[in-house]
Structure 1
Amino acid sequence: MPSRRLLADETATRTAGGKLARLVKPPLFVALKGELGAGKTTFAGGFAAGLGHKGAVASPTFAMVNEYRKLTPRVVHMDLYRAGPLDLPGLALEEYFEDAGAVCLVEWPENAGDLLPKDRLEVTLHHAKEGRTLAWHGTGARSKALAAKWRP
Protein backbone atom coordinates (compact mmCIF):
# COMPACT_ATOMS: atom_id res chain seq x y z
CA MET A 1 0.00 0.00 0.00
CA PRO A 2 1.54 3.33 -1.03
CA SER A 3 2.15 6.10 1.48
CA ARG A 4 0.40 9.38 0.64
CA ARG A 5 0.75 13.06 1.33
CA LEU A 6 -0.88 16.27 0.12
CA LEU A 7 1.55 18.84 -1.26
CA ALA A 8 0.23 22.39 -1.10
CA ASP A 9 2.21 23.89 -3.98
CA GLU A 10 5.30 23.73 -6.19
CA THR A 11 7.56 24.63 -3.28
CA ALA A 12 6.29 21.63 -1.31
CA THR A 13 6.85 19.43 -4.38
CA ARG A 14 10.44 20.64 -4.72
CA THR A 15 10.99 20.16 -0.98
CA ALA A 16 9.73 16.57 -1.19
CA GLY A 17 12.24 15.88 -3.98
CA GLY A 18 15.05 17.45 -1.97
CA LYS A 19 14.24 15.37 1.11
CA LEU A 20 14.40 12.20 -0.95
CA ALA A 21 17.74 13.22 -2.49
CA ARG A 22 19.34 13.52 0.93
CA LEU A 23 18.45 9.87 1.70
CA VAL A 24 19.55 8.10 -1.47
CA LYS A 25 22.48 5.84 -2.10
CA PRO A 26 23.01 4.73 -5.69
CA PRO A 27 22.12 2.79 -7.61
CA LEU A 28 18.51 3.89 -7.44
CA PHE A 29 15.70 4.02 -9.96
CA VAL A 30 12.84 6.43 -9.24
CA ALA A 31 9.76 6.01 -11.44
CA LEU A 32 8.00 9.40 -11.63
CA LYS A 33 4.37 8.89 -12.58
CA GLY A 34 1.48 11.27 -13.08
CA GLU A 35 -0.49 13.12 -15.70
CA LEU A 36 0.91 16.03 -17.71
CA GLY A 37 1.66 19.01 -15.49
CA ALA A 38 1.39 17.02 -12.24
CA GLY A 39 4.84 18.14 -11.05
CA LYS A 40 7.22 15.37 -12.11
CA THR A 41 9.87 17.77 -13.43
CA THR A 42 9.37 20.08 -10.43
CA PHE A 43 10.01 17.10 -8.17
CA ALA A 44 13.15 16.22 -10.17
CA GLY A 45 14.32 19.83 -9.81
CA GLY A 46 13.92 19.61 -6.05
CA PHE A 47 15.80 16.33 -6.03
CA ALA A 48 18.75 17.87 -7.92
CA ALA A 49 18.67 20.94 -5.65
CA GLY A 50 18.79 18.62 -2.64
CA LEU A 51 22.13 17.36 -3.96
CA GLY A 52 23.46 20.90 -4.45
CA HIS A 53 22.42 21.70 -8.03
CA LYS A 54 22.08 25.49 -8.35
CA GLY A 55 20.60 25.81 -11.83
CA ALA A 56 17.27 25.03 -13.38
CA VAL A 57 16.26 21.48 -14.20
CA ALA A 58 14.63 21.39 -17.61
CA SER A 59 12.17 18.77 -18.70
CA PRO A 60 13.96 16.27 -20.92
CA THR A 61 10.82 15.76 -23.04
CA PHE A 62 12.59 16.30 -26.36
CA ALA A 63 16.16 15.36 -25.39
CA MET A 64 14.78 12.33 -23.48
CA VAL A 65 17.88 12.27 -21.21
CA ASN A 66 19.51 15.04 -19.14
CA GLU A 67 22.51 14.07 -17.04
CA TYR A 68 23.78 16.01 -14.05
CA ARG A 69 27.31 14.62 -13.86
CA LYS A 70 28.65 17.11 -11.30
CA LEU A 71 26.22 15.94 -8.64
CA THR A 72 27.07 13.21 -6.17
CA PRO A 73 25.49 10.84 -6.79
CA ARG A 74 25.20 11.53 -10.51
CA VAL A 75 21.60 12.12 -11.57
CA VAL A 76 20.13 10.89 -14.85
CA HIS A 77 16.76 12.53 -15.55
CA MET A 78 14.74 10.88 -18.33
CA ASP A 79 11.40 11.63 -19.90
CA LEU A 80 10.02 8.72 -21.90
CA TYR A 81 6.74 10.45 -22.82
CA ARG A 82 7.65 10.49 -26.51
CA ALA A 83 9.59 7.22 -26.51
CA GLY A 84 8.20 4.44 -28.62
CA PRO A 85 9.37 0.84 -28.85
CA LEU A 86 11.74 1.72 -31.70
CA ASP A 87 13.41 4.49 -29.64
CA LEU A 88 14.24 2.34 -26.62
CA PRO A 89 17.26 0.41 -27.99
CA GLY A 90 18.96 3.67 -29.02
CA LEU A 91 18.59 5.16 -25.54
CA ALA A 92 20.65 2.41 -23.88
CA LEU A 93 18.25 2.46 -20.93
CA GLU A 94 19.64 -0.68 -19.32
CA GLU A 95 23.11 0.87 -19.12
CA TYR A 96 21.70 3.84 -17.22
CA PHE A 97 19.47 1.68 -15.02
CA GLU A 98 22.36 -0.61 -14.03
CA ASP A 99 24.90 2.19 -13.41
CA ALA A 100 26.07 1.69 -9.82
CA GLY A 101 26.97 5.38 -9.40
CA ALA A 102 23.74 6.92 -10.64
CA VAL A 103 20.24 7.76 -9.57
CA CYS A 104 17.77 7.57 -12.45
CA LEU A 105 14.68 9.76 -12.24
CA VAL A 106 12.39 8.59 -15.03
CA GLU A 107 9.20 10.36 -16.08
CA TRP A 108 6.65 8.21 -17.94
CA PRO A 109 8.44 4.98 -16.89
CA GLU A 110 5.58 2.85 -18.19
CA ASN A 111 6.94 3.50 -21.69
CA ALA A 112 10.09 1.51 -20.81
CA GLY A 113 8.05 -1.69 -20.59
CA ASP A 114 10.00 -4.74 -19.44
CA LEU A 115 13.24 -2.75 -19.16
CA LEU A 116 12.23 -1.29 -15.78
CA PRO A 117 14.34 -2.50 -12.87
CA LYS A 118 12.52 -4.86 -10.51
CA ASP A 119 13.59 -2.83 -7.47
CA ARG A 120 12.46 0.77 -7.87
CA LEU A 121 10.85 3.58 -5.92
CA GLU A 122 7.56 4.57 -7.53
CA VAL A 123 6.50 8.18 -6.95
CA THR A 124 3.11 9.26 -8.26
CA LEU A 125 1.88 12.86 -8.42
CA HIS A 126 -1.71 13.87 -9.18
CA HIS A 127 -3.52 17.18 -9.41
CA ALA A 128 -5.73 17.86 -6.39
CA LYS A 129 -8.13 20.69 -5.47
CA GLU A 130 -5.54 22.06 -3.06
CA GLY A 131 -2.16 21.43 -4.72
CA ARG A 132 -1.26 17.85 -5.62
CA THR A 133 -1.13 14.45 -4.03
CA LEU A 134 2.08 12.48 -3.68
CA ALA A 135 2.05 8.70 -3.30
CA TRP A 136 5.11 6.47 -3.03
CA HIS A 137 6.12 2.86 -2.53
CA GLY A 138 9.03 0.54 -3.18
CA THR A 139 8.92 -2.59 -5.31
CA GLY A 140 11.98 -4.37 -3.88
CA ALA A 141 13.99 -4.61 -0.68
CA ARG A 142 16.16 -1.48 -1.12
CA SER A 143 13.37 0.73 -2.42
CA LYS A 144 10.93 -0.44 0.27
CA ALA A 145 13.47 0.47 2.96
CA LEU A 146 13.95 3.90 1.37
CA ALA A 147 10.18 4.42 1.06
CA ALA A 148 9.79 3.67 4.77
CA LYS A 149 12.45 6.27 5.73
CA TRP A 150 11.32 9.08 3.42
CA ARG A 151 9.06 11.68 5.02
CA PRO A 152 8.22 14.27 2.37
Structure 2
Amino acid sequence: MSRSFKSHLSDDIATVTMGNRIAAIIEQGAVIYLHGDLGAGKTTFTRGIVQGFGHTGKVKSPTYTLVEPYELERANVYHFDLYRLGDPEELEYMGIRDYFSAQAICVVEWPEKGGEFIPVPDLNITLSYVGDERNIVINSASERGSVIIEKLNNLTSE
Protein backbone atom coordinates (compact mmCIF):
# COMPACT_ATOMS: atom_id res chain seq x y z
CA MET A 1 0.00 0.00 0.00
CA SER A 2 1.45 3.32 -1.06
CA ARG A 3 1.53 6.08 1.53
CA SER A 4 2.47 9.72 1.36
CA PHE A 5 3.43 12.61 3.60
CA LYS A 6 3.46 16.32 2.75
CA SER A 7 4.82 19.22 4.73
CA HIS A 8 5.93 22.81 4.45
CA LEU A 9 9.52 23.60 5.44
CA SER A 10 10.03 27.25 6.34
CA ASP A 11 13.85 27.30 6.11
CA ASP A 12 17.08 25.25 6.11
CA ILE A 13 16.68 24.44 9.82
CA ALA A 14 13.23 22.94 9.18
CA THR A 15 14.67 20.98 6.24
CA VAL A 16 17.49 19.54 8.39
CA THR A 17 14.97 18.79 11.17
CA MET A 18 12.81 16.80 8.75
CA GLY A 19 15.89 14.77 7.76
CA ASN A 20 16.55 14.16 11.48
CA ARG A 21 12.98 12.87 11.89
CA ILE A 22 13.36 10.44 9.01
CA ALA A 23 16.67 9.18 10.49
CA ALA A 24 15.03 8.64 13.88
CA ILE A 25 12.31 6.48 12.30
CA ILE A 26 14.49 4.25 10.09
CA GLU A 27 15.26 1.07 11.98
CA GLN A 28 17.14 -0.91 9.37
CA GLY A 29 18.32 0.25 6.00
CA ALA A 30 16.52 2.29 3.38
CA VAL A 31 16.95 3.50 -0.16
CA ILE A 32 15.85 7.12 -0.47
CA TYR A 33 15.56 8.94 -3.78
CA LEU A 34 15.69 12.74 -3.66
CA HIS A 35 14.07 14.74 -6.45
CA GLY A 36 14.07 18.48 -7.02
CA ASP A 37 15.69 21.27 -8.97
CA LEU A 38 19.24 22.45 -8.32
CA GLY A 39 19.25 24.28 -5.00
CA ALA A 40 15.92 22.81 -3.84
CA GLY A 41 17.44 21.51 -0.58
CA LYS A 42 18.36 17.90 -1.34
CA THR A 43 21.81 18.13 0.28
CA THR A 44 20.40 20.14 3.20
CA PHE A 45 17.81 17.41 3.78
CA THR A 46 20.54 14.75 3.51
CA ARG A 47 22.56 16.65 6.14
CA GLY A 48 19.62 16.12 8.50
CA ILE A 49 19.56 12.39 7.81
CA VAL A 50 23.33 11.96 8.22
CA GLN A 51 23.38 14.03 11.43
CA GLY A 52 20.34 12.10 12.64
CA PHE A 53 22.46 8.95 12.48
CA GLY A 54 25.16 10.58 14.61
CA HIS A 55 27.55 12.37 12.24
CA THR A 56 28.89 15.60 13.74
CA GLY A 57 31.10 16.92 10.93
CA LYS A 58 30.28 18.64 7.67
CA VAL A 59 27.99 17.06 5.12
CA LYS A 60 28.89 18.03 1.59
CA SER A 61 27.42 17.11 -1.74
CA PRO A 62 29.41 14.36 -3.48
CA THR A 63 28.89 16.02 -6.86
CA TYR A 64 32.35 15.08 -8.16
CA THR A 65 33.03 11.88 -6.18
CA LEU A 66 29.48 10.47 -6.76
CA VAL A 67 29.33 9.00 -3.23
CA GLU A 68 30.21 10.23 0.25
CA PRO A 69 30.29 7.41 2.83
CA TYR A 70 29.48 7.95 6.52
CA GLU A 71 30.29 4.87 8.57
CA LEU A 72 28.46 5.58 11.82
CA GLU A 73 27.67 3.61 14.95
CA ARG A 74 23.96 3.20 14.20
CA ALA A 75 24.25 2.67 10.42
CA ASN A 76 26.33 3.17 7.31
CA VAL A 77 24.92 6.09 5.36
CA TYR A 78 25.89 6.60 1.72
CA HIS A 79 25.08 9.91 0.05
CA PHE A 80 25.04 9.70 -3.73
CA ASP A 81 24.84 12.65 -6.12
CA LEU A 82 24.45 11.42 -9.69
CA TYR A 83 24.04 14.88 -11.27
CA ARG A 84 27.36 14.76 -13.15
CA LEU A 85 27.13 11.08 -14.09
CA GLY A 86 27.84 10.72 -17.80
CA ASP A 87 26.58 7.18 -18.30
CA PRO A 88 24.71 4.97 -15.79
CA GLU A 89 27.09 2.12 -16.63
CA GLU A 90 29.84 4.04 -14.79
CA LEU A 91 28.04 3.03 -11.59
CA GLU A 92 28.71 -0.63 -12.31
CA TYR A 93 32.44 0.08 -12.61
CA MET A 94 32.50 1.82 -9.22
CA GLY A 95 30.85 -1.19 -7.58
CA ILE A 96 27.61 0.60 -6.70
CA ARG A 97 25.76 -2.60 -5.83
CA ASP A 98 28.13 -3.12 -2.89
CA TYR A 99 26.71 -0.02 -1.18
CA PHE A 100 23.09 -1.14 -1.23
CA SER A 101 23.07 -3.71 1.59
CA ALA A 102 19.89 -4.40 3.54
CA GLN A 103 21.23 -2.45 6.54
CA ALA A 104 22.69 0.60 4.75
CA ILE A 105 20.96 3.94 4.34
CA CYS A 106 21.44 5.09 0.74
CA VAL A 107 20.34 8.61 -0.15
CA VAL A 108 20.43 9.26 -3.90
CA GLU A 109 20.22 12.71 -5.48
CA TRP A 110 19.33 12.74 -9.19
CA PRO A 111 18.34 9.01 -9.19
CA GLU A 112 16.93 9.21 -12.71
CA LYS A 113 20.53 9.32 -13.97
CA GLY A 114 21.27 5.91 -12.39
CA GLY A 115 19.03 3.87 -14.66
CA GLU A 116 18.71 0.20 -13.78
CA PHE A 117 22.01 0.25 -11.87
CA ILE A 118 20.36 1.45 -8.66
CA PRO A 119 17.62 -0.42 -6.78
CA VAL A 120 14.00 0.60 -6.44
CA PRO A 121 13.67 3.09 -3.57
CA ASP A 122 11.77 2.73 -0.32
CA LEU A 123 10.99 6.46 -0.37
CA ASN A 124 10.69 8.99 -3.19
CA ILE A 125 11.13 12.47 -1.75
CA THR A 126 10.51 15.64 -3.75
CA LEU A 127 11.64 19.04 -2.51
CA SER A 128 10.39 22.16 -4.24
CA TYR A 129 10.67 25.88 -3.63
CA VAL A 130 7.66 28.01 -2.79
CA GLY A 131 9.06 31.53 -2.65
CA ASP A 132 11.90 31.43 -0.11
CA GLU A 133 10.49 28.33 1.56
CA ARG A 134 10.11 24.66 0.57
CA ASN A 135 7.53 21.97 0.28
CA ILE A 136 8.39 18.32 0.79
CA VAL A 137 6.39 15.38 -0.54
CA ILE A 138 7.39 11.88 0.55
CA ASN A 139 5.91 8.84 -1.22
CA SER A 140 6.49 5.21 -0.34
CA ALA A 141 7.64 2.85 -3.06
CA SER A 142 7.97 -0.29 -0.90
CA GLU A 143 6.52 -1.89 2.21
CA ARG A 144 9.47 -0.57 4.23
CA GLY A 145 8.77 2.91 2.86
CA SER A 146 5.10 2.63 3.85
CA VAL A 147 6.09 1.76 7.42
CA ILE A 148 8.44 4.77 7.58
CA ILE A 149 5.73 7.14 6.35
CA GLU A 150 3.15 5.67 8.73
CA LYS A 151 5.53 6.33 11.64
CA LEU A 152 6.26 9.84 10.33
CA ASN A 153 2.53 10.62 10.09
CA ASN A 154 2.02 9.33 13.65
CA LEU A 155 4.99 11.37 14.91
CA THR A 156 3.80 14.63 13.36
CA SER A 157 0.17 14.20 14.46
CA GLU A 158 1.10 13.88 18.15
Structure 1, unmatched stretches of 5+, are none
Equivalent residues of 1:25, 1:73 under 8 A apart: no
Partner of 1:90: 93
Following TM superposition, where does structure 1 have runs of at least 4 consecutive aligned residues deviating by more than 3 angstroms? none
Q: What per-residue deviation string (whole Å, max 9, x for no partner) do you get for residues 2-31 of structure 1?
A: 321110000000000001001112221010
> Aligned partners of 1:47 and 1:74: how far apart in 2?
11
Partner of 1:39: 41
1:149 aligns with 2:133: no
> Aligned partners of 1:66 and 1:21: how far apart in 2?
17
Aligned residues, how many?
151
Distance apart, 1:75 and its partner CA? 0.4
TM-score of the superposed pair, with normalisation by structure 2: 0.88
What do you get for the CA RMSD once the two structures are aligned? 1.6
> Aligned partners of 2:121 and 2:81: how far apart in 1?
19
- 1:79 maps to a residue whose letter is D
Please show how residues 13-52 of structure 1 align to structure 2 within 5 Å: 13-52=15-54
Please show how residues 33-72 of structure 1 align to structure 2 within 5 Å: 33-72=35-74
Distance apart, 1:63 and its partner CA? 0.8
Structure 2, unmatched stretches of 5+, are none
**SS of structure 1 residue aligned to 2:88:** coil
> Aligned partners of 1:70 and 1:145: how far apart in 2?
23
TM-score of the superposed pair, with normalisation by structure 1: 0.91
**SS of structure 2 residue aligned to 1:149:** helix
* CA distance 1:100–1:2, change in 2 (3 Å): closer
Distance apart, 1:90 and its partner CA? 1.6
Equivalent residues of 1:119, 1:142 under 8 A apart: no
